[in-house]
Chain A
Amino acid sequence: MDTSTPEDAELQAQFDATVAADQRIEPRDWMPEGYRRTLIRQIAQHAHSEIMGMQPEGNWILRAPSLRRKAILLAKVQDEAGHGLYLYAAAETLGVDRDDLTQRLVDSRQKYSSIFNYPALSYADIGVIGWFVDGAAICNQVPLCRCSYGPYARAMIRICKEESFHQRQGYELLLAMVNGTDAQREMVQESVNRWWWPSLMMFGPPDGDSPNSQQSMAWGIKRHTNDELRQRFVDMTVPQAEVLGVTLPDPQLRWNPDRGAHDYGEPDWAEFKAVLAGSGPANAQRLAHRRRAHENGAWVREAARVHAEKQAARKEVAA
């Protein structure tokens, strides 16, 4: 805590009172360095996740099986780029800049959601990513709409509304597919089998093994524990799976009337750690893709910068 002087102690007390009263911290307000660092890390990772998330879905835009599905998918991926823009802008209010954050991403110095280190192997994945991955993201993100940091909270309100729409689009694709051919139904089940466990891992490690959670909750950045959110996701998803007629691949999954919630099995935390450490099925591919796009665009960004300087110089001469 930065409480080395009486003045600091007073600022800290004000900050604590604002957070305790569920009021928002704004960019010009004093905030503890740890709070700022945590937010920068979290918002940047969130922005990076939006950008990296464009890859698995982008993989199917060219092959979308109908023009309507192509339009829906293209619009969704475009929204993700837009979300990345709002989030980088929110991070910039904390005194970092987007170019620097992008560099940290391509240099592997900052992370993004591990879920995008799994491959999108069939068109059913487009539906399942919407249903599970966007669904899990919404469970994680809705509480952030009331996060203590104002710019992040406001960005999240807009993002959550669009994510919720994406989730329903994904589910609607799956409904159409399960009402189609046997091959389509198999495709949906196979995709559900592959994405279920990685989606549960999106909520992070179990509460007993999540060292940063407590501080983030005290700061009003995080509102619910990982396990609470995971439970909410499971309870929400089970009836939706029944409507689709698909089986969630967990033999331990069953309603527990005593808890008023579903019991479910343990995700493979060794896999979670391996993917987080960089050895998931698509980590290297995703990062190489991002790096290649960034490097291939360097001459274009440089041209835009030089052109703007030339224009400014001409204006000055003319003035």
Chain B
Amino acid sequence: MSPHAEEEDATNAYQSLSETAGIDDPRWAFGSGFEDVEAEIEAPLPAGVDAADLAEYCLMLGDDALVCAQRIAEWVSNAPELEEEVALANTALDLLGQARVLLSRAGHVEGAGRDEDALAYLRSEAQYRNVALAERGDDLDFGVAIARLLVFTTWRLALMSRLLDSRDPVVAAVAAKAVKELTYHREHAARWAVRLGDGTDESHRRMQAGLEAVWPFVEELFRTTDVERRLVAVGVAVDPADTRAEVDAVLDQVLAAATLTRPDRAPMGLLGGRGGRQGVHTEALGHVLATMQSLARAHPGATW
């Protein structure tokens, strides 16, 4: 068959191989979940909102998603079945997409010329604002991974569904997208919690152990920071304490269906009254960032 005849075939993929033009095709960033809100990142600061507070708030929400995505991505090529490879990668990708917009917004509002990558790759642990649950490792134990995902997505969905009307247009846009994504993620985690809890003796034990492992990090999710308090007053943020009843109700429902028991674990303590939101983390975050930032930091001035 002549090359010409192949070009007319709808199944021909050679054509794009020999094309070096057209690399500005927006599909290059397929899966990043970025383009649809990109235009809004530079939206003006809503009246009466403190720029530093909004930047800090975007970092909190963005860092939660980024660090958790990084943890979930550890599962790539390690999942218990192929469908789960797709589902976990997809969840990480969605959270990464949320993080990118939120970090970009933080950088824009801050006004110091930092973009998403400067914020992701050039901040130290103490400058990260995520909750400890996001950085909690799982050592590829699926019970721990599902427990973390269940608690994290239940809480984040409760937050995001209250941010749909945020006066900051970027936060509101992220929330609109995130609510759809997190609804799926929470459903996925809940189904696994039920399968494992109500599966074999071993899976029940391991799912319960997973819950026990993440439970000390639950309390922090509902602690209100001063930044959040000020932003609630101007209609930008949600008070995380307000999500507690919803999170408890959802988790209780899932645990009951899964024949699991709500753990009775003391919350992880604060250090001088400070936790993840104030930049005081567990030792785990340093390792997460060391891995994530190593290549970017080794090549200052590089373009990727």
The interface of chain A, by Cβ under 8 A from chain B, is: 51, 54-55, 58, 61-72, 74-75, 77-78, 81-82, 84-85, 88, 98, 123, 135, 138-139, 141-142, 145-146, 156-157, 160-161, 163-165, 167-169, 171-173, 175-177, 179-181, 183-184, 236, 239-240, 243, 289, 292-293, 296-304, 306-307, 310
A-B CB proximity, top 5 nearest: A297-B80, A303-B199, A75-B31, A303-B203, A78-B89
Find B90's partner among A78, A98, A292 (CB 8 Å cutoff).
Answer: A78
**Distance between Cα atoms of A172 and B97 in the complex (Å):** 21
Nearest-CB distance from B35 to chain A (Å)?
Answer: 11
**Sample of 15 further A-B pairs with CB below 8 A, known A69-B304, A98-B82, A175-B23:** A55-B77, A64-B295, A67-B103, A68-B32, A75-B31, A81-B85, A85-B83, A85-B86, A142-B13, A157-B11, A164-B17, A168-B23, A296-B142, A304-B199, A307-B196
Contacts of A61 in B (CB 8 A): 73, 76
Judging by beta carbons under 8 Å apart, are A81 and B82 in contact?
yes
Nearest-CB distance from A183 to chain B (Å)?
Answer: 6
Judging by beta carbons under 8 Å apart, are B93 and A142 in contact?
no
For window 86-111 of chain B, which residues contact chain A by CB distance below 8 Å? Answer: 86, 89-90, 92-93, 96-97, 99-100, 103
- Given A138-B14, A243-B20, are A85 and B82 neighbors across the interface (CB < 8 Å)? yes
Find A65's partner among B17, B196, B304 (CB 8 Å cutoff).
Answer: B304
The answer to whether the Cβ of B45 comes within 8 Å of any Cβ in the partner chain is no
Judging by beta carbons under 8 Å apart, are A293 and B78 in contact?
yes
**Distance between Cα atoms of A139 and B48 in the complex (Å):** 59
Contacts of A62 in B (CB 8 A): 70, 73-74, 291-292
Find B86's partner among A66, A82, A163, A302 (CB 8 Å cutoff).
Answer: A82
> Count of chain B residues with Cβ under 8 Å from any Cβ of A?
70
Contacts of A68 in B (CB 8 A): 29, 32, 34, 100, 304
Contacts of A98 in B (CB 8 A): 82
Judging by beta carbons under 8 Å apart, are B29 and A63 in contact?
no
**Distance between Cα atoms of A37 and B153 in the complex (Å):** 46
**Distance between Cα atoms of A63 and B206 in the complex (Å):** 30
Judging by beta carbons under 8 Å apart, are B82 and A171 in contact?
no
- Given A74-B96, A299-B203, A300-B81, are A168 and B16 neighbors across the interface (CB < 8 Å)? yes
Nearest-CB distance from B224 to chain A (Å)?
Answer: 28
Nearest-CB distance from B165 to chain A (Å)?
Answer: 27
Judging by beta carbons under 8 Å apart, are B77 and A67 in contact?
no
- Given A74-B73, A172-B28, A181-B302, are A138 and B17 neighbors across the interface (CB < 8 Å)? yes
Judging by beta carbons under 8 Å apart, are B29 and A71 in contact?
yes
**Distance between Cα atoms of A184 and B296 in the complex (Å):** 12
Contacts of B85 in A (CB 8 A): 54, 78, 81
Contacts of A179 in B (CB 8 A): 303
Find B32's partner among A72, A85, A177 (CB 8 Å cutoff).
Answer: A72
User: Which of A167, A179, A298, A306 lies at the interface centre, i.e. has the most chain B CB atoms within 10 A of its CB?
Assistant: A306
Contacts of A171 in B (CB 8 A): 20, 23
For window 168-205 of chain B, which residues contact chain A by CB distance below 8 Å? Answer: 194-196, 198-200, 202-203
- Given A63-B295, A142-B13, are A297 and B199 neighbors across the interface (CB < 8 Å)? no
For window 59-89 of chain B, which residues contact chain A by CB distance below 8 Å? Answer: 66, 70, 73-74, 76-86, 89
In the complex, residue of chain B having the shortest beta-carbon distance to the beta carbon of A183: B299
Judging by beta carbons under 8 Å apart, are B77 and A75 in contact?
no
The answer to whether the Cβ of B2 comes within 8 Å of any Cβ in the partner chain is no
Judging by beta carbons under 8 Å apart, are A160 and B31 in contact?
no
Contacts of A63 in B (CB 8 A): 291-292, 294-295
The answer to whether the Cβ of B301 comes within 8 Å of any Cβ in the partner chain is yes
Judging by beta carbons under 8 Å apart, are A297 and B29 in contact?
no
Find B79's partner among A72, A138, A142, A297 (CB 8 Å cutoff).
Answer: A297
The answer to whether the Cβ of B116 comes within 8 Å of any Cβ in the partner chain is yes
The answer to whether the Cβ of B4 comes within 8 Å of any Cβ in the partner chain is no
Find A78's partner among B19, B86, B198, B202 (CB 8 Å cutoff).
Answer: B86
12 A-B pairs in the complex with CB atoms less than 8 angstroms apart = A68-B32, A82-B86, A88-B82, A139-B14, A142-B12, A142-B13, A184-B303, A289-B77, A293-B80, A297-B84, A303-B202, A306-B203
**Distance between Cα atoms of A70 and B95 in the complex (Å):** 12
**Distance between Cα atoms of A67 and B33 in the complex (Å):** 11
